[in-house]
Amino acid sequence: MTLTSIDATALESGVRSYSRTWPTTFTKAQGSFMYNEEGDQYLDFFAGAGVMNYGHNNRHLKEVLIKYLAGDNVVHSLDMLTTARTDFLSTFTDQILRPRGLDHTVMFPGPGGANAVEAALKLARKVTGRESVVTFTNAFHGMTLGALSVTGNSMKRGGAGIPLVHATPMPYDDYFDGDVPDFMYLERLLNDAGSGLNTPAAVIVETVQGEGGVNTARREWLRQLSSLCKEQGIILIVDDIQMGCGRTGGFFSFEEAGIVPDIICLSKSISGYGLPLALTLLRPELDVWEPGEHNGTFRGFAPAFVTGAEAIRTYWSDDDLQRSTIAKGAFAESALNTIVADHPEHGLSAKGRGLARGLEFTNPDHAAATCRNAFEAGLLVETSGPRDEVIKLLPPLTLTNEELARGLDILRQATADAVA
């Protein structure tokens, strides 16, 4: 094969996007770094959109993965019972769910996050006999039709080619800068028999909106939302696909708020190694599926069970990772505040929680330029938000303090050059 990667893009649909932001061909990756074909090193504060929480080719997980594959163990088996599946199920239940007081059953809805969301929405509708879902401004839940209908981004919605219905957007926390009492509108509509709001089957929410611009919901907002759902008999779905698996500190991002969602969606870092896996966790009383009523070919990818179980044993047997993430998050927050303070005339702001951090620009061009500068200086960061105006930082949770500091230094300089 003599074709270059850039040439190969001609063979591919124009829908590709990251290869436009980072026009180089990556080949190796280890820990917090990726390397292109020329051997250039990139510090990765993107982490595969939150998939690589434990770093690329994590040594612990790599060992068990290769051993598993080398041993001719079952790779693919849908929802047949396998040793790997049983190990994952019991490890996840024993070390993650039960210690947190969660009695949820585990559903494997398919290989990706959108499958977890689709299954959650289907079940909420089936259980309640209602069809409408309350979403929040700037939500992102996926690209399949059900998941897309509860996603906010208008460009992505436009891709559906049909009217997206059955979802009503409500203001996310702080959407009005604190000028309006939380849930005033939603609560009023729910309690007014003449409001015209179809009583919803479910509310679906992210505790931190990654794609939406690293918007964080306060604990009390989440608690109020949970109470409201309980009072009204509405199923609360937390999409923890990007913010779970320790991204904000605790394994689940909602732990801090002390709430118990009815349904929880997980994916991205759940396998710990970039292997496709997704989970939909269900309060037992909601688990009214008939056998096979939802299925999917890649819903039991055994290598992902193997690395997923090992990741839990390695990182969630004690609270070291959680404490480290919170500490590094605080460090990052401080560094971002310094960048904000560097440029008072540009109205930047720092956002986020744990190691999900954002740097918001008033001018989206500055965000884009900062990304480009960072890339040239060897740092991978992407933008998010409805106008791509927020730089989103999702470094591996396992990065060293030195790597964190180095990345933030590059970002500081990249920002300075962008707004100059």
From residue 358, give the alpha-carbon distance in Å to each of 172, 239, 382. Answer: 17, 19, 10
Q: What residues numbered 382-401 form the site for a second copy, per CB under 8 A? A: 385-387
Per rule CB under 8 A, is residue 417 in the interface with a second copy?
Answer: no
Count of residues touching a second copy (by CB under 8 A):
159
- Residue from 41, 184, 230, 323 in contact with a second copy (CB under 8 A): 184
Per rule CB under 8 A, is residue 208 in the interface with a second copy?
Answer: no
- Residue from 53, 146, 224, 351 in contact with a second copy (CB under 8 A): 146
Q: Which stretch binds a second copy (CB under 8 A): 44-52, 245-253, 338-346, 368-376?
A: 44-52
254 CA to centre of own chain: 13
Contacts of 73 (CB under 8 A, 6+ apart): 82, 83, 84, 302
- Torsions phi, psi of 120, nearest 5? -65, -45
- Residue from 32, 54, 64, 142 in contact with a second copy (CB under 8 A): 142
Contacts of 290 (CB under 8 A, 6+ apart): none
- Residue from 40, 220, 231, 287 in contact with a second copy (CB under 8 A): 287
- Residue from 13, 101, 285, 345 in contact with a second copy (CB under 8 A): 13
CB closer to a second copy out of 39 and 344: 39
- Residue from 101, 155, 318, 344 in contact with a second copy (CB under 8 A): 155
Helix axes 302-315, 83-92, angle to 10 degrees: 30
How many angstroms separate the CA atoms of 368 and 391, rounded?
8
Hey, what's the torsion of the CAs at 270, 101, 121, 254, to 10 degrees? -70
> DSSP alpha helices (H): ranges in 233-317?
302-315
Per rule CB under 8 A, is residue 331 in the interface with a second copy?
Answer: no
Sign of torsion, CA 113 375 390 367?
A: negative
CB closer to a second copy out of 72 and 318: 72
> Quick one: tokens of 358?
């954002």
How many angstroms separate the CA atoms of 203 and 261, rounded?
10
Buried/exposed code over 335-360 (b: 16+ C-beta within 10 A; e: otherwise): bbeebbeebeeeebebbbbbbbbbbb
Q: Which stretch binds a second copy (CB under 8 A): 102-110, 229-237, 353-361, 395-403?
A: 102-110
CB closer to a second copy out of 232 and 413: 232
**Residue 408 beta carbon to a second copy: minimum distance, rounded to whole angstroms:** 22
Q: In the stretch 336-375, what mask flags binding to a second copy with x, by CB under 8 A? A: ----------------------------------------
Q: What residues numbered 213-272 form the site for a second copy, per CB under 8 A? A: 213, 267-268
**Residue 241 beta carbon to a second copy: minimum distance, rounded to whole angstroms:** 8
**Residue 328 beta carbon to a second copy: minimum distance, rounded to whole angstroms:** 22
For 355, which DSSP code?
A: T
Q: Which stretch binds a second copy (CB under 8 A): 161-169, 249-257, 393-401, 408-416?
A: 161-169
Which residue's entry shows tokens 């992505």? 156
- Residue from 40, 41, 99, 176 in contact with a second copy (CB under 8 A): 176
**Residue 348 beta carbon to a second copy: minimum distance, rounded to whole angstroms:** 19
Residue of 201, 197, 181, 200 whose CA lies nearest to 189: 197
